[in-house]
Amino acid sequence: MLSEKDRAILYESVELLVHDFDPEDSIIFLEVHDILTRSQCEKIEKQPSRLEKLRELLRAYSRRAESLLPLIQYFDYNLQFHLCDFLNEKLKAAKEVENNRHFPDVPNPKAVVPLKKEKRLSLLLDGQVPAIRNACVREGITKQIADALRSNSKLDSSFTVLHGMAGIGKTYAAAQTLMDDPYLIGVNFHHVYYLDDSRVTPNQIKHLMTDLLLMLSDQVVFNLPHVKDLSTVALMKLLREALIDKPYTLVFVDDVRSAETVRWLDQLGLNVLATARNIEIFDSVSSHISIIPLQGFKNNEVATYLDKFLTLYRLEMVQLLSQSKLNVEQLQNSDAFVRLAADFSSGNPAVLSKLVKLSNGSCERFKDYCAMMLKNSLKCLNCITTYRFNDIEDAIHASIVLLEDYEKDIIMRTASLKFDVPIPLTEWCDVVPVELCRRTSEIREVYDRLSRIHKKTFLLDESDDHSYFTVKRLTFLYATSMLNNNDQQ
C-alpha cells in the first residue's frame, strides 16, 4: 500500500490526470509490472465512464503499489513528461514539507503553500465543522491549539484534547483554530470531519461510526439499511478502507462523553481533535495525547466581548472617546463594569452571551441580571443563544450526572465554601468525607477525590502546585440552587 504522503500526492494529481490520462492505456503496463491483478484490470475496464475508470484505477493503485515510481515510469514510457515532472516535483516538495511540518512560521515558499481561505472554508463545510459566528477570537488559545495539532500531525495517530467546563468555548476555540490557521488545513491535514458525541449513548457508538463512514465515502448513494446491519468489526474494516482514500485526515470529535468512543477512535489510528469535560476517559488511549486546559475569558477578553456585543456599552465608550471626555472616573467605572461581568460570568462565554442577550443592550439590565443570579440562581439565565443549552444549570448538570455519588456530595458541599478563593487541602479535609485515621493519608485521599472532580468536570480549579482547589462561582451557584430546591421539596 502507498504511504500516506504518496497517497496525498496521487489524489492531488487527479485534476491533471482527468485531462491528460486514459486509464485503459496504462492497464497492461501496470499489470505486467505486477501492480494490478487481472481481476482489478477487468473491474476497471467495466466502469461505464473514463472518470469512473480513473477513480477505480487510483483506488487499486493506492492499495497495491508501494511507491509512485511505476506510475512515473509509465508516464515516461508513454512520453507524458509533464505528468512525470508534476509527480517528481510534488515528491520533492512533500519531502521539504515533511521537514518543515513542525515549523510553518518559516516555511519554504516553494514547498509550503497555504490553501486560500475560500478553499479551507469549503473543506470545513464538507467535513460538517460548525461555522463560527459572533465569537470572540482568543489568539493565545488558538495558537496553543494550532501548535499542538501541528506537532501531532507528523504522528500516525494522536489525540489533541481541549479540556474545560460546560460553556467555556471549547468548540468555538477548536473551530476558530481550524478556520483561521492558514497551514493546518491543506498542509498539515488535507481533510477534516466533525462528529458530535454529546448525543450518543455508549450503545449508539455504531451511529457515530456510520456518520464518519458516510462523510468519508465518495459515493452519492449509500446503502444505509445494509450499514445498520453490519457488526462493529465490519464497520471498522470499512472505515479503514475509506481512510486509505483520505490521507492526512483529522477527525474533530465534539463534547466526548463516552469512553467507548475514545477506544474505537484510538483503534482506527486517527489524528483526533477532541473537546471534553471529562479527560479521565482518555486514560485508555495508546496514542500520543496532548491535553490543553481551557479557562474562562480574561478581563481584557471580556472587555472585547462587551465592546462587540453589548450595544449601549459600546456606544457609550465610542461617544466618550470621540468627545475626548473619557475621564479617570468614567474609565474606572468602565473597568468596574468589565470586572463585574468577568466575576459574575466566571469568564464563561456561554454565561456571558446569555447575560448580554437578556440585558438587551442595557448596562443596568446587565447588572440587574447579575444580582438575580445571586438571588435566584442560574435559572434566571434561561434563553436561546448559540450555546446548545438554553439553561446553564442543565449544562452543568450534564457534567454532574457523570460523577460518582460521593463526588456529587462534594459538589453540593461547596455551597458552604467561599468561591473564587483558593482553599488549601487542610481546609478541604473538613468538607470532604473520608474515613481514614492518619492525617497525611486523609489529605492524600482528599486530593485524589478533588482532582478526579477537576478532571471529570472542571468545576473545581486545581493549583499548579496541587495544594489548593478553588470553587468556581458557577459551581457555587449551582450547588446553592440544588440545595434550595431540595429544601423547598
Let me know the angle formed at the C-alpha of 203 by 202 and 205, rounded to the nearest 5 degrees.
70
Q: Is residue 244, in this structure, part of any structural domain at all? A: yes
Would residue 464 count as lying in a domain?
yes
Q: What integer pLDDT is reported at residue 333 of this predicted model?
A: 52
d(Cα 57, Cα 228) in Å, to the nearest integer? 29
Q: What's the pLDDT at 119? A: 86
Q: What is the CATH number of the domain that holds 149?
A: 3.40.50.300
Q: What is the pTM of this model?
A: 0.85
- Name the domain boundary from 100, 129, 163: 100
Residue 357 lies in a domain: yes
Q: How far apart are CA 400 and CA 396, in angstroms?
A: 6
C-alpha cell recorded at residue 351: 454565561
Phi, psi of 234 (to 5 degrees): -65, -40
Tell me the CATH number at 447. 1.10.10.10
* DSSP-assigned letters across all residues of 81-121: HHHHHHHHHHHHHHHHHHHHTT-TTS--TTT--PPPHHHHH
Same domain, 229 and 122: yes
Same structural domain for residues 183 and 261? yes
Question: What is the SS3 assignment for 310?
Answer: coil
The 3-state DSSP class for residue 192 equals strand
Residue 219 confidence (pLDDT): 56
Residues 289 and 304 in one domain: no
Alpha-carbon gap, residue 38 to 472, rounded angstroms:
67
Residues 12 and 146 in one domain: no
106 found inside a domain: no
Question: Is 418 inside any structural domain?
Answer: yes
Residues 166 and 284 in one domain: yes
Report residue 262: phi and psi, to 5°: -60, -40
Residue 354 and residue 208 share a domain:
no
Q: Which domain holds residue 363?
A: 299-381
Q: Are residues 461 and 342 in the same domain?
A: no
| Residues 270 and 130 occupy one common structural domain | yes
Residue 388 lies in a domain: no
Last residue of one domain, picked from the residues 277, 293, 309: 293
**Per-residue pLDDT tens for 265-321?**
999 999 999 999 999 999 999 999 999 999 999 888 888 888 777 655 554 544 444
Please report the pLDDT score of residue 329 as a whole number.
43
Do residues 167 and 348 make contact, with C-beta atoms less than 8 angstroms apart?
yes
343 and 282 share a domain? no
Do 328 and 403 belong to one domain?
Answer: no
Residues 484 and 447 in one domain: yes
- Which regions of the chain are under pLDDT 70? 97-113, 133-135, 199-203, 218-228, 310-334, 376, 435-440, 486-489
Read off the pLDDT of residues 131-182 as tens digits, 9 standing for 90 and up. 876 567 788 899 999 999 999 988 889 999 999 999 999 999 999 999 989 8
Amino acid at site 118: E
C-alpha to C-alpha distance for 261 and 285, rounded to whole angstroms: 11
C-alpha cell read off for 179:
478556520
Residues 340 and 286 both lie in one domain: no
**pLDDT on residue 221:** 43
Q: Could you tell me if residue 107 is inside a domain? A: no
Domain edge (last residue) among 70, 100, 130:
100
Specify if 387 maps to a domain: no
What integer pLDDT is reported at residue 332 of this predicted model? 43
Q: Give the number of domains in the chain.
A: 4
CA distances from 21 to 5, 6, 97 (A): 22, 18, 27
